[in-house]
Structure 1
Amino acid sequence: MSELPRYEYVKLADAIAADIASGTLPQGAALPGERAMTELHRVSIGTVRRAIVELRKRGLVATLPAKGTYVIAMPEPSGDAPEEREPNT
């Protein structure tokens, strides 16, 4: 059975998410502008915009009006941080 086709915006969002996970786009880094991303990834501006919306839904980026889109901190996984406890005496 063949794999279902994925939308271009999902492919783009996945590629950017991979860059974030690998550290290529670290926390606080600005994503390229929409027009630059259309040329870089050879997709339409609508695809770029939908990919950014998808990344915002995933909690990976935040867009500041007239400033750009930036990588934000990933939430800490629950239960992984060790709790500080006082020693038993």
Structure 2
Amino acid sequence: MSFMLDPDKPGYLYNQVAEHIEARIRAGELRPNEPLYAENKLANEYGVSLGTSRHAVRILCERGLLRVVPSKGVYVVPLDQVPDADEVASGVASCSCARS
């Protein structure tokens, strides 16, 4: 799945990166329980800063699509375990993105 940043699109670049990674997860390109690339590799792949790639990962953690395993990395959550948007918005779903 190719990706091209759209500098004219309203909003922040990290949202574009997060949307593309989410699309890759939902399309099965990034598989459940597999590690996501390191944030610096994501930054290089998308042509963005490390901070932008970190923010995109944080957004996806908050949505329940990724989880951080301390000392191991960031992993893709199986889609059947991803909370729905209402749970995320209401705070019922907990973010597993806290780093120690």
Rounded Cα–Cα distance in structure 2 between residues aligned with 1:9 and 1:15: 10
The answer for the alignment partner of 1:46 in structure 2 is 51
Counterpart mapping for 1:1-89 below 5 A: 5-74=10-79, 75=81
Rounded Cα–Cα distance in structure 2 between residues aligned with 1:33 and 1:25: 13
Rounded Cα–Cα distance in structure 1 between residues aligned with 2:50 and 2:82: 32
> TM-score when scaled to structure 2?
0.68
Q: Which runs of 4+ in 1 moved over 6 A?
A: none
Identity percentage over the alignment? 36
The CA deviation at 1:73 is 1.8
Residue ranges of structure 2 left out of the alignment (5+ in a row): 1-7, 85-100
Bigger relative contact order (CA 8 A; separation at least 6): 1
The CA deviation at 1:4 is 6.4
Query: Structure 1 pair 11/73, CA: closer, same or farther in 2 (3 Å)?
Result: same
Q: How many residues align?
A: 76
Give the greater-gyration-radius structure (CA): 1
- Check whether the contact 2:63–2:83 (CA below 8 A) recurs between aligned residues: no
> TM-score when scaled to structure 1?
0.76
